[in-house]
Amino acid sequence: VNPAAFIQLDNKYAFIISRVLGKLLLVGESKNPVELDVEKRMKIALFGPKHKMPAGDFNVRVYIVEDYRSSIDYCTIKKKNLGNDLLMLSKDFLFKSNKEDLWVQLVCSGGWQTRNESQKIPFSHLWKNSYLLHCDFLLERSSNSMSKLNMEIFVKQKHGDDIFLNNLLLYT
């Protein structure tokens, strides 16, 4: 018997030895995710209207995507087809398998505000690879004299990483 790959699993790591170089994918689920520190690398992608600030109220969407080029590309293509551009892509962060939901908060300044400042994405949706998970934020002008939009995005999972993206200056 000459297997193409040998896999050894221990309590914390998976070791893969292969006869040929190439891309490998290890898929599985931990028996007790709370006991093990199983994590997924994720990114925050912010999408909004193309090129310039709209004259009135408008929506931006904060997507949580797995840190794979294919996931980011898929999301970007889908949003471009709907008339939105990728405005910002965060550094990666670790989403823990602790059954805790992810909270996304968006704070505006520069003459803008949002009604729904904080939203939840359920743990099960993110952990089971549901595609195109997002939070939709309606941005409203709070002052006619301001012509720029500043946003701060906070992402939090209980017992997980705190992600803070600040001073996102959009549409001057």
Task: Give pLDDT, residue 144.
Answer: 73
Q: What is the chain's pLDDT, residue by residue, as a tens digit (172 residues)?
A: 677 888 888 877 788 888 888 877 777 766 665 566 778 888 889 998 876 666 778 888 999 988 888 888 999 999 999 888 998 888 888 888 888 899 999 988 888 888 888 999 999 888 887 667 789 999 888 877 666 788 888 888 887 667 766 555 565 5
Task: Give pLDDT, residue 12.
Answer: 74
Task: Give pLDDT, residue 119.
Answer: 93
Residue 73 three-state SS: helix
CA distance 95 to 104: 13
Task: Look at strands 5-9 and 118-121 and give their pairing.
Answer: unpaired
